[in-house]
Every structure is written in C-alpha cells, then in structure tokens.
Amino acid sequence: MTALSWLVERPIAHRGFHDMNKTRWENTLSAFGAAAERGYAIECDVHLTADGEVVVFHDDELKRLTGVDGYVWQRTAAELGALRVGGTADHVPTLYEMLAHVGGRVPIVIELKGIPGHDHGLVRKVARALRGYDGKVAIMSFDHWLIREFAEHAPGVPAGLTAWGDKDHEIEAHFSMLAHGISFVSYGVVHLPNRFVQFVRDRLGMPVITWTVRDRAAVDVTFAHADQMTFEGFEPNAAA
C-alpha cells in the first residue's frame, strides 16, 4: 500500500468540489479548482468523443448536464466544449484542459466510462494524456473490458476497479478482476462490509476508497471498512 499511500491521504471530491449542481456544477473546471484550493483529491469521469478525444463528463447522455439532446459519443470535443454545463459559464472540458487546470496540486482519480461500440481507444487516449503529467493520478473503471486493457495501454499508471454489490455473483465477478493488475478498489459504501473488500485490504494490502459518501453514517462505515472516502455535498473537515 505504500506506493499508493497518496491515494488515501485526503478525502476525494466526487466529480470535483461542486455544490450539488446549484451554482458550481460537477465535473467542471470550477469544481476541480475548488477542490484543489481546499486540498482535496479529485475524482472525475471521462468519455470518448466522436473525434476520438477524451472529455470530462459523467453521463453518456447530454440532457441532464447541458440541456441538449444526444450522447457524448455523437459530438466532437469542440462541439462539446461549446456547450455550457448547467447554464453556467463552465463548458465541457477535455481531459487535457482538466489536467492543466489542476496542475499537479492534488491527486486525481479518473473513472473511465465505457460505452459498448463507442469506447474503442479510450484507455489508450487517457494514457496518452497522462504522459508527462506532473502530478499524482490513477485510473479506474466499472467496465471489465476496459480494465482488461489497462496493463497493455496504460502501463505504469495505478489502476483500480470501481465496484458495488453484495450478492455472490457480483462478488465473484470482482474477484476475477484481480488477475488484471489492479492496485486499488473503489467500492460503493452502501455495500460495505463484504468479503471482497476485506480480502483485498487484509490479504493483498490494497487501498480501498468508497463512493459516494454524503453523510456522517457513510463516513463512519468508510473508516470502519475502507481507507478513504469519495464524498459530495459537505465539507469533510467539518464532519470529522
């Protein structure tokens, strides 16, 4: 766990330090800047665009965050960059823009969002963006087909499994990902404790972070069964 101790040193702001999309929206440069100013690590989400670029955006559909119809994979990076997020001055940023904005001030954990048939090259493009970045960064995904590409296309980048569930078939699927070089786990706090998380922490020495922590009860569960939280909607220091 020593090599990844930076991953669990500080609370991780879920999609940046936003205000639940009132005035400072998720996955925007404003939210990332606010997290960096407070010293929080940052979690963000990325998708592949129609022209093979990587943008920072959570949903596969555009409507909730931009008010327009369609999907991220149908638009170019320039077209997405012209869209306003939540009617604010913030636009949909590329991963390069996000990295430049954070500038190594705090760690970044990037979740890769797979869309079957529309994500070919996503791992490779993210790895390319990270080359030469002067800061601590890790990648992770729910999508097992992307995780299987991590070792080949993003060698040397700390890689993790994003997961949830407490049913036997879900847990067994998570165990199968241990064969693909992951070095940490991000687990849904609502499904802790469980035998998979206990195994990777106690037997493999892997750090485990939780998502998404929104109240005191989830903070307590996190630090009883994991190493750090991915939070939103409150100031962790005030809840400590």
Give per-residue pLDDT as tens, 185-198: 999 999 999 999 99
- The secondary structure of the chain as a DSSP string is -GGGGGGGSS-EEETSS--SSSSS-TTSHHHHHHHHHHT-EEEEEEEE-TTS-EEE-S-SBSHHHHS--SBGGGS-HHHHHTSBSTTSS-B--BHHHHHHHHTTSS-EEEEE---TTS-TTHHHHHHHHHTT--S-EEEEES-HHHHHHHHHHSTTS-EEEEE---SHHHHHHHHHGGGGT--EEEEEGGG-S-HHHHHHHHTT---EEEEEE-SHHHHHHHHHHSSEEEE-SS-HHHH-
Give per-residue pLDDT as tens, 143-180: 999 999 999 999 999 999 999 999 999 999 999 999 99
* Residues forming the active site: 14, 58
How high is the pLDDT of residue 237?
Answer: 76
pTM: 0.97
Please say if the pLDDT value at position 184 is more than 70.
yes
How high is the pLDDT of residue 160?
Answer: 98
Domain boundaries, the chain: 2-46+102-239
CATH class of the 2-46+102-239 domain in this structure: alpha beta
How high is the pLDDT of residue 238?
Answer: 52
Give per-residue pLDDT as tens, 101-123: 999 999 999 999 999 999 999 99
Please say if the pLDDT value at position 79 is more than 90.
yes
pLDDT, averaged across the chain: 97
How high is the pLDDT of residue 2?
Answer: 66
